[in-house]
Structure 1
């Protein structure tokens, strides 16, 4: 798609005028809120005095983490102690002016702080409140801690990927956090949908975005294969071929693509 300067400005500023309170840490929530900022929303990141752990994540240049910068560029910042009643009251005042709240604490934490959706929606019925967690807000695993590599394993993603590696029996080490980025992106899409619905109803809603369910969406064929008898492929359908100066990825999806390759 080609955009002129004016078209691009309208696209990236489509959330201008919206205020977002970003309580999230690490990757999934901050990635979601960063996307909202990219679309023109005013995003206020709320941190403790110590700052979140990503502030020290390498690479660090001039005392600042560039990974933290990538996830939080375009946001404003305020330091609040959510265990202090005066600071919680400050949050409540901010909520009254906000359109969106993003948080990724373990389920139950915001409730204990007096900042659950049921409480804040009374202050602001138009509030769209997005909760990102490992396993969802309810269920037997809801309160378990969850980082991306754990979710990769719990979803079956690692073993599904291993099944396409002939001659290997050990899953890969995890260095790229698919679960965080995918979940943050799904949360962004859910918030956009909730904004559209709010235009029609005048009310916000609580969004429950699960990392586990987000990862399960990546194993489309494997989920179907686990439920129905499917003859396993003789070899992976796509794969890298080694050449003298590196690898090329050959992807033959049909007779037509095979003929084109030939």
Structure 2
């Protein structure tokens, strides 16, 4: 297990799928002891696939450095063990269906009275004080409900984001909330009960399209790989390949015209003088820009863009990501000892050494003996 800023912290995770496990793997990466409580068949993500040497890709990604205990939380003996764990724990995180924890006897009132220093985090699909509280919530459903799909895709077809954006955002929000609560506990001596709703995270991400609509009456369209509200910020076909070019300021726009495309007069055109005008007149602007880029090969375009200080990028396929020069990796052991590599988490240096991915129930007996001796 990794040593780090959270070493000595005990986290109890009644978790499944992506959102809560993403939060707790970040805690484990920082040195916290994370005890993952699973049902007899294992949590949901263990069975998504067997792509990684027999292990689910999701599970291999999100569960390194944790311990696994199989408990039956309908059994009185195992509920008693959970109570003992919570007496010792700093953090409880759970993403069971709403109300499940209370039905076990751990209502908010009981948690506050029995475990006053515990930071108890519940991940839900929707705020429990809203009319949507009882709705079932999965990643794509929340992306669609929040309007995220309405601004993603092409003009002809909305799309979800290609990774589990709602789950990932929720896990990151829960992680930040826990760290804030730990700091607060240092001052107050008391824990907190925190709700992190998936919909809230996606609605927050949708703030700019919502503000555009409510204050300017403008609906954000879908433009594929082009930016909806900054222009030109899109792919351009060169003579021998494609580059994505990003101009975010008027100064960059002028440099693009003069130093990259040899079209300085475009920068002074009345229809293209400001970013809002360029966004509104993108079709006309494209008619000017596309032939200019087609006259350049990629190497020439890159040299000109770099000299002008204008950002650019390449469209990368998944097959290309593994050999990308910016990709940094970390080695992780699976439950059977087989080694794989994962993208190194942001903020971790080359010395980062995470713990292994746990086998189902590997630590159950040891945890029983430690917390319920005799």
TM-score (norm 1): 0.88
The structure 1 residue matched to 2:129, chosen from 132, 138, 141, is 138
**Match of residue 15 from structure 2:** 24
Work out the CA distance in 2 between the residues paired with 1:43 and 1:123: 21
Equivalent residue number for residue 174 of structure 2: 187
> In 2 relative to 1, CA 58–241 (structure 1 residues): closer, same or farther, beyond 3 Å?
farther
Aligned to 1:170: 157
Secondary structure of 1:203's counterpart equals coil
Between stretches 222-231 and 44-53, larger displacement belongs to: 222-231
- The aligned counterpart of 1:248 is 243
CA contact (8 A) 2:152 2:161 kept: no
Q: How far apart, in 1, do the equivalents of 2:58 and 2:219 lie?
A: 40
Asked if residue 228 in structure 1 is aligned to residue 215 in structure 2, the reply is yes
For the 8 Å contact 1:117–1:206, the answer to whether it is kept is yes
Shift of 1:231: 5.5
Structure 1 position 207 matched with structure 2 position 208: no
CA-CA distance at 1:64 after TM superposition: 1.9
Are the equivalent residues in 2 in contact too, given 1:92–1:120 (CA < 8 A)?
no
Report SS of the residue matched to 1:217: helix
Partner of 2:216: helix, strand, or coil? coil
> Which residue of 2 is the match for residue 110 of structure 1?
101
Output the CA distance in 2 between the equivalents of 1:79 and 1:253.
Answer: 52
CA distance in 2, matches of 1:247, 1:194: 46
* Farther off after superposition, 120-129 or 32-41: 120-129
Secondary structure of 2:196 counterpart: strand
Change (3 A) 1:44 1:240: same
Secondary structure at the counterpart of residue 20 of structure 1:
strand
Is 1:72 matched up with 2:67? no
How far off its partner does 1:220 sit?
A: 2.4
How far off is 1:112 after superposition? 0.8
Equivalent residue pairs, number: 248
CA shift, 1:245, in A, is: 5.4
The CA distance in 2 between the partners of 1:259 and 1:216, in whole Å, is 35
Q: Output one character per residue of 1:62-104: Cα deviation in whole Å (capped at 9) or x when no partner.
A: 4322320210000011110011111111100000000000111
- Cα distance between partner residues in 2 of 1:34 and 1:111: 25
Radius of gyration: which is bigger?
A: 2
Structure 1 unaligned residues grouped into runs of 5+: 1-8
Moved more, 221-230 or 236-245: 236-245
CA distance in 1, matches of 2:59, 2:41: 14
The DSSP-based 3-state class of the residue aligned with 1:96 is: helix
SS in structure 1 at match of 2:195: strand
Q: Is 1:60 the counterpart of 2:55 in the alignment?
A: no
> Structure 1's 244 and 204: CA in aligned 2 closer, same or farther, altered over 3 A?
farther
What root-mean-square deviation, in Å, do the aligned CA atoms of Structure 1 and Structure 2 show? 2.1
Which whole-Å deviations, capped at 9, do the CAs of 1:128-187 have from their partners, x for residues lacking one? 00111110233211121101100001000110234xx4xx23212553110000110011
- What secondary structure, in the 3-state scheme, does the structure 1 residue paired with 2:68 have? strand
Which one is further off, 76-85 or 116-125?
116-125
Question: 2:80 matched to 1:89?
Answer: yes
- Contact 1:198–1:204, Cα closer than 8 Å, also in 2: yes
Q: Which runs of 5+ in 2 are unaligned?
A: 222-226, 261-374
